[in-house]
Amino acid sequence: MEFDTIAAISTPMGEGAIAIVRLSGEKAIHISDKLFRGVGGKRLVDVHSHTIHYGHLVDPKTDIVAEEVMVSVMKGPKTFTKEDVIEINCHGGLVSVNRVLQLVLNNGARLADPGEFTKRAFLNGRIDLSQAEAVMDLIRAKTDRAMNVALGQMEGRLSRLIQKLRQEILETLAHVEVNIDYPEYDDVEEMTHHLLIDKARYVKAEIEKVLQTSQQGKILREGLATVIVGRPNVGKSSLLNSLVHENKAIVTDIPGTTRDVIEEYVNVRGVPLKLLDTAGIRETEDIVERIGVEKSRQVLKDADLILLVLNHSDELTIEDENIFAAVEGMDVIVIINKMDLPQKINMERVEQLAKGHKIIRTSLLEDRGVDELEEAIAALFFAGSIEAGDMTYVSNSRHIALLNQALNSIEDAIDGVESGTPIDIVQIDFTRTWELLGEIIGQSVHESLIDQLFSQFCLGK
């Protein structure tokens, strides 16, 4: 494939110590060479691949030195994009890095679109689609754990699993073909049924296993949607503030302006919380009173986690009871706030209402109990303590949708075999599963299954 040469600043904008302008494409080396003045007249077109060179960038029109630089030369295909790649390291700071970018743009490179380097890596066959998507996720990863998920995926964890499953399906189909071709064996039909059902059950179990991580994966990616509820004056705003102030707020590139509620991300022990900010809290302040239990249930239904705040020094009211009713069946942590004040709340009744949900006592005024709360949030999320390191997580909604479809078709195959459907119909369900899994890693669905089967046979013979 032939592409023009693209360039972009590949380090974050700002006042870093160094900045990098990256070029990729056929003319990357030629363009850089035109601008580069190395020690002793060294030319970039002459150097070995994967080497780095000190020198200056000069504007060829004026011969004025623009920058002191280190230039890395990496010749394709052993590069991220499989094309020739140049990385120009210059001083950090907007002026200097922009000057370098401008120079390469004036001399034959085109400004890259967002994600275009990754797209090229995909188009040139360097990475598959799920890996390309992982690179995007990585850029947006909001916590270390989310970063690990994205890294795992980028390293091909999901791809490897998908490839393994597809291979298994293919081999099974090949075996079935062989069985059909050699009907002289008496028990061929029974063998075929056994083979198909065993393999289908195995594939089904593997898909289910990955899908089980999807909820966590999605949360890691998007944040645990958290709503703080309670009647007026119990300490909701105080809770929000202490969660935000004690934890590093996560910078998000999602602008709040287009949404009704402002989202605030905080990292609580590796769990990204997407807290509904003051707007949301004002909404929910007397939500139950205003619109009734049924309606408020709807408003709350998108939340992954409810922090229900009660006042230790006040008696429970019907309003409190209504709030419990509104969050029935959800993940709830009950917070008894204002522990520094004398008790008026009936704790026996609270325990009844809490129905086994964790109860945490806090004094937000005296800054007590917030650690325990954070621990409870992390424990709730990592129940069963699955570590990001040793699982194949799936968090991308496109992947999840395809996995669900693949699960349906392999279940159809199982039903088919069990109810004695003709083998060629069952084969269709297997093939469909194979195709759906292939879409996850960007394998063309048009790629001929027949060819694949044929190569299987040749290998075996």
Give the annotated binding-site residues for GTP. Answer: 233-238, 252-258, 277-280
Structure tokens at 76: 């394709």
Q: Do residues 3 and 25 touch, judged by C-beta distance below 8 A? A: yes
Does 338 contact ligand GDP by CB under 6 A? yes
By beta-carbon proximity to ligand GDP, the closer residue of 224 and 364 is 364
Q: Do residues 229 and 297 touch, judged by C-beta distance below 8 A? A: no
The secondary structure element, H or E, covering residue 371 is helix 370-381
Residue numbers belonging to the annotated binding site: 22, 87, 126, 233-238, 252-258, 277-280, 461
Q: At closest approach, how far in Å is the CB of 288 from Zn ion?
A: 15
DSSP-derived 3-state class of residue 394: coil
Binding test (CB under 6 A) with ligand GDP, winner from 238, 296, 395, 433: 238
- Binding to Zn ion, residues 221-250 (CB under 5 A): 236-237
- The count of residues interacting with ligand GDP (CB under 6 A) is 15
Residue numbers belonging to the annotated binding site for K(+): 233, 252, 254, 257
Q: Do residues 136 and 115 touch, judged by C-beta distance below 8 A? A: yes
Return the one option of ligand GDP, Zn ion, none that residue 157 interacts with (CB less than 5 to 8 A, by type). Answer: none
Q: Name the CA dihedral angle for 226, 229, 235, 241, rounded to a multiple of 10 degrees.
A: 20
Does 230 contact ligand GDP by CB under 6 A? yes
Does 290 contact ligand GDP by CB under 6 A? no
Q: Count CB atoms within 10 A of the CB of residue 90.
A: 24
DSSP class of residue 46 equals G
Contacts of residue 162, defined as CB under 8 A and 6 or more positions apart, other chains included, come to 130, 437, 438, 440, 441
Q: At closest approach, how far in Å is the CB of 281 from Zn ion?
A: 6
Q: Which of 108, 19, 9, 4 is nearest to 60 (CA)?
A: 108
- The count of residues interacting with Zn ion (CB under 5 A) is 2
Antiparallel, parallel or unpaired: β 305-311 and 224-229: parallel
The span from the CA of 403 to the CA of 398, in Å, is 9
By beta-carbon proximity to Zn ion, the closer residue of 201 and 282 is 282
CA-CA distances (angstroms) from residue 226 to 96, 330, 332, 397? 43, 11, 10, 20
By beta-carbon proximity to ligand GDP, the closer residue of 116 and 372 is 372
Does 233 contact ligand GDP by CB under 6 A? yes
Q: Where does this chain touch ligand GDP (CB under 6 A) — which range of 153-161, 213-221, 359-367, 435-443?
A: 359-367
Return the one option of Zn ion, ligand GDP, none that residue 205 interacts with (CB less than 5 to 8 A, by type). Answer: none
Binding test (CB under 6 A) with ligand GDP, winner from 45, 65, 205, 365: 365
Q: At closest approach, how far in Å is the CB of 278 from Zn ion?
A: 7
Could you list the residues that contact ligand GDP (CB under 6 A)? 230, 232-238, 337-338, 340-341, 363-365
Could you list the residues that contact Zn ion (CB under 5 A)? 236-237
